[in-house]
Amino acid sequence: MSEPGPLSGLRVLEVGHILAGPYATMLLADLGALVTKIEPPGGDLSRQVSDAYFASLNRGKRSVRLDLATPEGQARLHELVRGADALLVNLKPSAVHRYGLTYEALKPWNERLVCVALTGWGMDAGDAPAFDYVVQAATGIAALTGDPSGPPQLPGYSSADNSAGLAAALGLLAQVVSGRGGQVDVSLRDVMLSQLNYHAAAWLNDGTPPRRLGGAHAYYVPAQLFPTAEGHLALFITHDTFWRAFATEAGIEGYATMAERAAHRTEVVAAVTKALAADTAAGWEARLRPLHVPAAAVRTLPEALAEAPEAVVEAGGHRLVGSPFRIGGHTPEYGAPPRLGEHGDYG
């Protein structure tokens, strides 16, 4: 019999739209938290995208429809706050304040409440639009991405929103564990700057600006995508043991140390590219895996999901990717995404 989720008993309120905030609270719900989604009269905007899209961010939650702009809605909010451990809000700062969704505003109803504000630029930075791709452009992510001879690029998924959701969930739990109520401020900008850690350190300490390397790693060589006879192969050669195993299999001589490979990046990449042309990406993966060399053929998402059936779960008739957390003794129960106002309609 499965044990209760590690967050069983944690009661979380969510006010937000689309992705970052709902993703954060869904991760908490997957771990056993009771998450109540407070939706405006028209519902979370993600309901307008598709049922599957909404389900991918809101499975296993409750839904209360509530107009926070009315006195009745505020009274109901305060009732919910009395019985909650935390509130996560994913709105622009002016709306967070206008609807009284800060710790200072809600403290009279629950001094132990943890309030997390997940915004684009921070609670004190104004209401400038802060959608995922805008933040990636503004924080240096896009400038680092793409071919060096081409324009900056963006990845094909919402990396800023998802990363900020993870950070917000962590911040919420950290404050809950402290046993104190209080305000937690998480911004997409700060999260993405944090994820540029070693790039930022190189600039701040050594004055070394980041370079766009076509997806190649700034320090490790070879660590990038390479064309093969068919398909592309990702190599991530860090230490010298990996290089010796790979070079022997590929028939490449020299460049024995990490420092040598970094100093002769262009030559190493050319040698590796030439060697990899002798086989397919799948062939190289099969040859290198027994040697414990970090390498993988580039797959599409459908191909990756087909190889990881255990990652796919069902929730309310939708097939979704399950929780990334594996907790010993606990098997998550994936509830259906809620209907708008299913657990209370005050809109």
Catalogue the active-site residues.
161
In DSSP terms, 4 is beta-bridged to: none
Residue 103 CA from chain centroid, whole number? 25
Radius of gyration of the chain (CA): 24
Peptide bond into 152 cis (omega under 30): no
CB 77 within 8 A of CB 105: no
- The one-letter amino acid code at 296 reads A
Amino acid at 225: L
Pairing type for strands 232-236 and 223-227 reads antiparallel
2 touches 24 (CB < 8 A)? no
* Token duo for residue 44: 């979370």
Q: Which tokens is 154 given?
A: 């963006």
The β-bridge partners of 108 are: none
Given a contact cutoff of 8 angstroms between Cβ atoms, the answer to whether 162 and 321 are in contact is no
